[in-house]
Structure 1
């Protein structure tokens, strides 16, 4: 609270996550961990503030509000042991617990006939992700978890927490309106030229030297423009980037991304292959890894 410093992973460009069960800060990308000593490494203050609403935080809030409730938590921390998923779900099914808290792992496939209330906390979490599939993923997740309530003769209630209740995706999900969501989403995909109205090639550049990785992605882009202006000028495409990936560094490896909107064909594949060969010939980029994927689920 004194200086506003956020404790981040030394190997990745992401903040560390606090795990209360062992009082440690953990990076969920490279596995780095350190003990939390409640002293800011930047200014030395002990005024540390915990932000976010993970499963542990929700468990603490519920226990304070409902002290007599038996609460079961299912997340990465509580399901590390062999057969832990089955054991925990069996305990909940046997009514040894009143409330089940979980991450996305409890959203799908569970069938408990006496569950009549479901809550979705922070439904906006994935809605504004930097990816064209964000609305689809959010709708899928919310409709799945809402469907866990009232599975038999009992009526069910779902409460969705959101900062934007007017959002169309959340409204469609709350009403389980698949047709309405599809019509709205397919119209937006067409306007923005996203699949299924095009194909997307995603090029990812990774390496230990950020400057070299950035230059390599720029060299790839320049060759793409050159080929598309001459030998392959018949190919219609839209290029996004190059730019830093959403998480620009993982395990001391820097990442850049470039996306190509096009119509997948033999010609576009030939052009990309030639560009890869041209870039790989340059020894300056010998330590940069380039991977190409077609229509990946995530292009951010």
Structure 2
């Protein structure tokens, strides 16, 4: 690197932007406002860095008129003289954090789903708090002859720099002297801006004994689905395959939807595989990150297990395992993109193989398997620890559930109850009929300000009525849930039990508070009432009782995929119950619902077929694209309506827009304009 060393530990000062090589790089700037579709900028490569530069490496670059120091990722290298371009200042790290294939996937996702590329970077690449680059001000040679005696304030600035050994941080200098004064001295050649870049830590390479290689090929198809086995049984299968991969001289990744299972699977691994394994579950410290990339480069990291955050790391793996595939659909980190699409794009143009594992595959993967003829290693689901309880009287707690709680004083009891405040739906207390939208088939929501039933998808409105259109009953009523109400009721009934509550209203989003409640419940709790937040606790308890006290609320949620959400929520609990030899009870007013019928008959495909039929009739994915735009700029309303095709459906609700269409491309121009301020969620199969 061109420059000079100055006193100070681990520091290099880059002074010059001269001596360019014949290489030009396109750099994706990491931290700039999301106002550019392609925040790519071209820079020259100094001769000193010509042999070190590579696609996927992070660099320091001068950005903007003031040459502010920014970090970026090299996405392309070309030959040519960049005499009119600025030089990059140096490398943030000597390691690649992503390869060309990973970058291709990110840009493809950006174009297809209108997601700003910087948002994708933060979701899929461990940038973290890496090596720092800071701006310094130093005095130039001959500065004494360029400043006048009457420029007292400027003389004070020069003396201040001299008092700090001739070099001071720009931010520190700005605390005492104005930006205009500093700029004036810089323009007159009295001072200059240089950059201090922290040197990388020396890493001691790990010394592992050589593996006895078999050089045998991995005997699985390019894509394979493992279905019907609980995750402990699947993990046994994975371990055998991973052992084959490592012994054949190859590498692998295992990806989970939640970090808790990353830790569990790591503990499950035999020691001979652990020593080649790295866990990656999110942002981590500089030391760990450097060790990881050093291990990837030197080849002693053979296996990475982690969340989706680790999927695009440049391991050059042969095998990717996506476990608990059915649970990725609700992972916020994936934005609105399904895991199957990301992995399929990633393995395209390569010889990588992928295994998708799930107790029961997602609706999306089941369809893909049929369309693409993907091989499925299928076992029949047991589904033996489940009982459906008919809540005929619409009671908060039926006598059957009370009896279950009474009989199981020695077991931990989990009661699932959705959090309050979502919505209120309208049903018949006699036959269980729920009033639904004639256009979309989703339950209508009661809006008190209108005193009407409203569809939250299309805006359809209907006046309240007294008589049930199915049974003629006169007991139409509103239903709305609340975990706190359930907890207080249970505490009154079971005064000798320790009852806990776990939901967002209790934790306030605090991870520490959540962990405190979990720990206390595990030590001395009997019953816990909560939302999805109680689900991770199931893996810690043997022989538990799980009660869905008001699954009807989620079942009647005003979204087109509410049935799908309920089905896979139950599947998740049933998988844990099979492993832990536990029992599951579902209290419902709708025992004939296709979900419960399919579970009773131990045939989940009954539900899938019926769900697809329903969606086809209502024109929802996979038979149409369903787009939700949050924080929509209403000034584009008329433009949106003009673009709309006769078959498209567009609904407005405050600043949220919902679109059903078979052709997204016609909306591309508007999406490109609003995507930096709005959140565009595209659901398709």
TM-score by length of 2: 0.27
Tell me if structure 1 keeps the 8 A contact 2:627–2:681.
yes
State the match for 2:456 in structure 1: none
Shift of 1:173: 4.9
Is 2:515 the partner of 1:86?
Answer: yes
Tell me if structure 1 keeps the 8 A contact 2:628–2:656.
no
Shift of 1:180: 2.7
State the match for 1:37 in structure 2: none
Is the alpha carbon distance of 1:67 and 1:272 closer, same or farther for their aligned partners in structure 2, counting shifts above 3 Å? same
1:67 match: secondary structure: coil
Is the alpha carbon distance of 1:59 and 1:148 closer, same or farther for their aligned partners in structure 2, counting shifts above 3 Å? farther
Tell me if structure 2 keeps the 8 A contact 1:146–1:174.
no
Which whole-Å CA distance do the structure 2 matches of 1:97 and 1:174 have between them?
A: 31
Which whole-Å CA distance do the structure 1 matches of 2:567 and 2:639 have between them?
A: 36
Superimposed CA distance per residue, residues 55-83 of structure 1 (whole angstroms, 9 cap, x where no aligned partner):
21111111111110111211123324442
Which whole-Å CA distance do the structure 2 matches of 1:65 and 1:100 have between them?
A: 14
Tell me if structure 2 keeps the 8 A contact 1:115–1:150.
no
Is 2:542 the partner of 1:114?
Answer: yes
Superimposed CA distance per residue, residues 156-181 of structure 1 (whole angstroms, 9 cap, x where no aligned partner):
33221222221112433566643332
Matches within 5 A, 1:248-263: 254-263=654-663
Matches within 5 A, 1:35-184: 52-80=480-508, 81-94=510-523, 96-108=524-536, 110-149=538-577, 151-152=579-580, 154=581, 156-173=582-599, 177-184=603-610
Which whole-Å CA distance do the structure 2 matches of 1:64 and 1:73 have between them?
A: 14
Shift of 1:92: 3.0
Is the alpha carbon distance of 1:78 and 1:276 closer, same or farther for their aligned partners in structure 2, counting shifts above 3 Å? closer
Is the alpha carbon distance of 1:170 and 1:220 closer, same or farther for their aligned partners in structure 2, counting shifts above 3 Å? farther
Shift of 1:104: 1.3
- Measured on the aligned residues, the alpha-carbon RMSD in Å equals 3.5
Superimposed CA distance per residue, residues 17-53 of structure 1 (whole angstroms, 9 cap, x where no aligned partner):
xxxxxxxxx989xxxxxxxxxxxxxxxxxxxxxx843
Shift of 1:122: 1.3
Which whole-Å CA distance do the structure 2 matches of 1:187 and 1:139 have between them?
A: 16
Is the alpha carbon distance of 1:27 and 1:167 closer, same or farther for their aligned partners in structure 2, counting shifts above 3 Å? closer
Is the alpha carbon distance of 1:136 and 1:143 closer, same or farther for their aligned partners in structure 2, counting shifts above 3 Å? same
Tell me if structure 1 keeps the 8 A contact 2:640–2:667.
no
State the match for 1:283 in structure 2: none
Superimposed CA distance per residue, residues 266-289 of structure 1 (whole angstroms, 9 cap, x where no aligned partner):
xx2xx3244569x99xxxxxxxx7
Is 2:639 the partner of 1:220?
Answer: yes
Is the alpha carbon distance of 1:258 and 1:58 closer, same or farther for their aligned partners in structure 2, counting shifts above 3 Å? closer
Q: Which has the larger radius of gyration?
A: 2
Which whole-Å CA distance do the structure 2 matches of 1:163 and 1:56 have between them?
A: 21
Shift of 1:292: 4.1
State the match for 2:323 in structure 1: none
Shift of 1:128: 2.1
Superimposed CA distance per residue, residues 220-248 of structure 1 (whole angstroms, 9 cap, x where no aligned partner):
343114xx5xxxxxxxx73223332xxxx
Which whole-Å CA distance do the structure 2 matches of 1:131 and 1:112 have between them?
A: 32
State the match for 1:295 in structure 2: 683
Which whole-Å CA distance do the structure 2 matches of 1:82 and 1:66 have between them?
A: 29
Tell me if structure 2 keeps the 8 A contact 1:124–1:162.
yes
Q: Which has the higher contact order (CA 8 A, sep 6+)?
A: 1
Which whole-Å CA distance do the structure 1 matches of 2:680 and 2:661 have between them?
A: 13
Which whole-Å CA distance do the structure 2 matches of 1:52 and 1:183 have between them?
A: 30
Shift of 1:127: 1.6
Tell me if structure 2 keeps the 8 A contact 1:203–1:290.
yes
1:124 match: secondary structure: helix
2:515 match: secondary structure: helix
Where does the alignment leave 5 or more consecutive residues of structure 1 unmatched?
Answer: 1-25, 29-50, 208-212, 229-236, 245-253, 281-288
1:88 match: secondary structure: helix
Which whole-Å CA distance do the structure 1 matches of 2:662 and 2:627 have between them?
A: 8
Which whole-Å CA distance do the structure 2 matches of 1:119 and 1:290 have between them?
A: 39
Is the alpha carbon distance of 1:183 and 1:126 closer, same or farther for their aligned partners in structure 2, counting shifts above 3 Å? same
Query: Number of matched residues?
Result: 207
